[in-house]
Amino acid sequence: VAELRELLESAKCVLFDFDGPVCRLFAGHPAREVAADLVEWLGRHGWGGLLPSEDAPPGDPHAVLRAIARADAGSEMVGRLEARLTAHELKATRTAEPTEFAADLIHALRAVDYQLAVTTNNSAQVVTSYLQDRGLIDCFDGHIHGRTQDLFRLKPDPDCLFRALDSTGASAAQSLMIGDTPADCEAARKADVDFIGYARNERKMTMLRDAGATTVVGSLQSVLRAVRSE
Ligand SMILES: [Mg+2]
């Protein structure tokens, strides 16, 4: 807790990854089904060969996007693929599961004047829609930074963090990111932003530790307590 307090005290801006720290976006519309649909869609349009391995389609929709970005597929197709993923994500927001203590943490941080932003590989439109439905959008003052059509800029590239720093006016040293994947940890390191890992299970905990995260919590309640100085 002392460690969390120190991180929070040196920060004035908190950057949230979306899927994981805010909600489990694909709780009711599984990510692997979304990835399979994207793979199937690519195949139907004659672009299946762009994916590295047909017999093992990646279970992560963003892995499909990354693979397509690497394949240099052309902006029209990338735009259509990205739009298809956005439609899936919008559908997923309806059955997304709020992360325990996320809403309380967001409100508690705002109550003591932290600036808040979202830095995500998901679509900003999707994040905005989720936060609106849960009455949390006002806490973020429009600082929602999602993926662009430049798929090379997905995390672990720090692009969305840099956009958040630009829009909030906070420096990297004044910022702290909460994320749940090695890509978040790496993006924060590249942007020189402190990092708190959120791991809802042992597997995620190990992945974050292996990626070099030194502060990892199993529940956002620990962070909430540190904010409230409990
Ligand atoms: Mg995440």
pLDDT in tens, 175-210: 999 999 999 999 999 999 999 999 999 999 999 999
Instruction: Report the amino acid identity of residue 184.
Output: D
Å from CA of 19 to ligand 1 middle: 4
Residues in the chain: 230
Q: At what angle do helices 31-44 and 75-93 cross, to 10 degrees?
A: 150
> Do the beta carbons of residue 221 and residue 200 sit within 8 Å?
no
Percent of the chain with pLDDT over 70: 97
Reported as a single tens digit per residue, the pLDDT across 35-57 is 999 999 999 988 888 787 655 55
Structure tokens at 220: 């956002």
pLDDT (0 to 100) of residue 71:
81
Instruction: Note the pLDDT of residue 182.
Output: 96
Using the mean position of ligand 1's atoms as its centre, give its distance from the Cα of residue 17 in Å.
6
What is the 76 CA–ligand 1 centroid distance (Å)?
A: 27
Query: Ligand 1 centre from 198 Cα, in Å?
Result: 9
Q: Residue 76 — pLDDT band, cuts 50, 70, 90?
A: confident
Both tokens of residue 57?
């389609």
Distance of CA 32 to the CA centre of its chain: 17
> Of 80, 72, 214, 134, whose CA–CA distance to 118 is shortest?
134
Q: What is the pTM of this model?
A: 0.94
- CA 124–ligand 1 middle distance (angstroms): 14
